[in-house]
């Protein structure tokens, strides 16, 4: 069955450093993958979409890579800030539906 | 601009009681509508989605049901709640393939 894995342990980094979050998927080949941010008690908010024929996508301090050979997406936040603290969810497309990972909680310390 | 409303924000219900959660979208027409559930420490689980009025697809067998009586209204229901129905319920909409999902602020349901 299709499986999505994100690091369940929280990622703690110092302000100003680059945060890198990992999303691995198995047993299918998504046409694209989306990343979302979720704050406690709130619904997820869309950040970026990357297609299977794109290696990298950037938006301000955010960068996403998509390696279809490794079946992996990496999500980078450069010059991280305490306001970036949240849970980040990856969501590869499975046929016509998005399947969400459990998310990785990022904590940025000043 | 488009907005999505979901209510109530929190709900405590006894086992065996009925459930009705409502979601409405404003500022768009013919959206795809979704119900997700997020249990503690688990990912978002797709429960139902709808591509049009009266068209409902169920993803997970359970004692929940969904209805779409109007274009921008999506309702999640249960006749008898179970303890395992506790969780964070999220409604979302988009315009289809490759379109980002826009989520409501969710309903925290506790079944006691």
A102 with B42: Cβ contact below 8 A = yes
A100 with B100: Cβ contact below 8 A = no
| Sequence spans of domains, chain B | 3-111
- State how far Cα B50 lies from the chain centre: 11
Q: Is B96 left (phi over 0), alpha (psi -120 to 50) or beta?
A: left
| Sequence spans of domains, chain A | 3-7+11-48+58-109
A100 with B92: Cβ contact below 8 A = no
Q: What is the pLDDT of residues A21-79, one digit of tens each?
A: 999 998 888 889 999 999 999 999 999 999 999 989 999 999 999 999 999 999 999 99
Mean pLDDT of B1-22: 95
Q: Which CATH number fits domain B3-111: 3.40.440.10, 2.60.40.10, 2.40.30.10, 3.30.2320.20?
A: 2.60.40.10
Distances from the Cα of A1 to the Cαs of A26, A27, A28, B46, in angstroms?
8, 6, 8, 16
| Confidence (pLDDT) at A95 | 75
Q: What is the pLDDT of residues B22-34, one digit of tens each?
A: 999 999 999 999 9
Instruction: Write the CATH number of the domain with boundaries A3-7+11-48+58-109.
Output: 2.60.40.10
Distances from the Cα of B52 to the Cαs of B30, B31, B58, in angstroms?
7, 8, 14
Q: What is the pLDDT of residues B40-50, one digit of tens each?
A: 777 899 999 99
Q: Sheet of B73-78: strands edge to edge?
A: B3-7, B19-26, B73-78, B64-70
Contacts of B59 in chain A (CB under 8 A): 97
Nearest by CB to B103, from A43, A96, A97: name it.
A43
Q: What is the pLDDT of residues B53-72, one digit of tens each?
A: 999 998 886 789 999 999 99
Tell the residue number behind the tokens 């979409």, with chain if given: A49
| Vertex A55 angle, CA A51 and A60, to 5° | 85
**CB atoms < 10 A from the CB of A58, how many?**
11
């Amino acid at each position: 069955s299709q499986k999505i894995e994100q690091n369940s342990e929280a990622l703690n980094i110092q302000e100003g450093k680059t945060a890198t979050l990992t999303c691995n998927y198995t047993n299918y080949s998504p046409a694209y993958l989306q990343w979302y941010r979720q704050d406690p008690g709130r619904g997820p908010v869309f950040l970026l979409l990357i297609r299977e024929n794109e290696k990298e996508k950037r938006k301000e301090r955010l960068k996403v890579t998509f390696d279809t050979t490794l079946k992996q997406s990496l999500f980078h936040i450069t010059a991280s800030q305490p306001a970036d603290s949240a849970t980040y969810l990856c969501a590869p497309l499975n046929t016509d539906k998005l399947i969400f990972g459990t998310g990785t909680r990022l904590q940025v310390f000043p | 601009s488009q907005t999505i409303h979901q209510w109530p924000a929190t709900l405590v219900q006894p086992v065996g009681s009925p459930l009705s959660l409502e979601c409405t979208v404003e500022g768009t027409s013919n959206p795809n509508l979704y119900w997700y559930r997020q249990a503690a420490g688990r990912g978002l689980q797709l429960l139902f989605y709808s591509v049009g009025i009266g068209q409902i697809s169920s993803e997970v067998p359970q004692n929940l049901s969904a209805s779409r009586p109007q274009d921008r209204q999506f309702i999640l229901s249960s006749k008898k709640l179970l303890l395992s129905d506790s969780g964070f319920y999220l409604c979302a909409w988009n315009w289809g393939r490759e379109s980002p999902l826009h989520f409501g602020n969710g309903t925290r349901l506790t079944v006691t």
